[in-house]
Amino acid sequence: MEEFLKNISLFKELNNEQLSEISKILKPINFKTGEIIIVEGEKGNTMYIFKKGKVQITHQLTLKVESQHLEEGEKSMAILDAEKISFFGEMSLVTGSPRSATIKALSECELYEISKKDFENLAEKRPDIGYKIMKEISITLSRRIETLNENILKLTTALSIALSKKKK
């Protein structure tokens, strides 16, 4: 198990003894193709470590179709693959707030689940492990915010250009 965990970016700064402690709170869980792993809006209290598989992240959108008519829709935001992304759902480990997206298995998925409660207990007992993991989660979330900021800038620029052309 420690060999597998060494390759997970979240645990890259942990030594073998610390990895052994982490392995004690990992719960293996499998999902079949098409199964929902996380539902947007539900209270989150777990995160997942990818062992194998591919998932799709979607968000619910409300679109104004006609002057007063609103329609609900689902937008695919990303596809995560175990070969490229090693974990997801980490915001719930930090905040326990409602899930920000729905995640569905696109293939057979082998995951390890970490509950917020188990992680917090381990972090209290072993602050050295908790600090290193929270540091990696913070780095990951910061990178995602940077990417989102870049995307927002591109979208607002495109919208400004489109609106300025419409006025002419």
Instruction: Encode pLDDT of 79-97 as tens digits.
Output: 777 777 788 888 888 888 8
Mean pLDDT of the chain: 86
- Angle of CA points 71, 75, 79, to nearest 5°: 165
Q: What does the pLDDT average to over 145-149? A: 80
pLDDT for position 84: 78
- Can you read off the two tokens belonging to residue 126? 């072993």
Q: Residue 6 contacts by C-beta under 8 Å, 6 or more apart in sequence?
A: 12, 19
Q: With beta carbons less than 8 A apart as the criterion, state whether 6 and 68 touch.
A: no
pLDDT for position 153: 84
Provide the pLDDT confidence category of residue 21 given band limits of 50, 70 and 90: very high
Question: What does CATH list as the number for 2-167?
Answer: 2.60.120.10
| Type of residue found at 155 | L
pLDDT for position 67: 57
What SS3 state is found at 32? coil
Smallest Cα–Cα separation from 74: which of 103, 94, 105, 115? 103
Q: How would you list the strands of the sheet with 70-81, edge to edge? A: 36-38, 102-105, 54-64, 70-81
Q: What does the pLDDT average to over 32-56? A: 93
pLDDT for position 126: 97
For the chain, the structural domain boundaries read 2-167
- % of the chain with per-residue pLDDT over 70: 89
pLDDT for position 86: 86
Rounded CA gap, 100 and 115, in Å?
17
pLDDT for position 135: 94
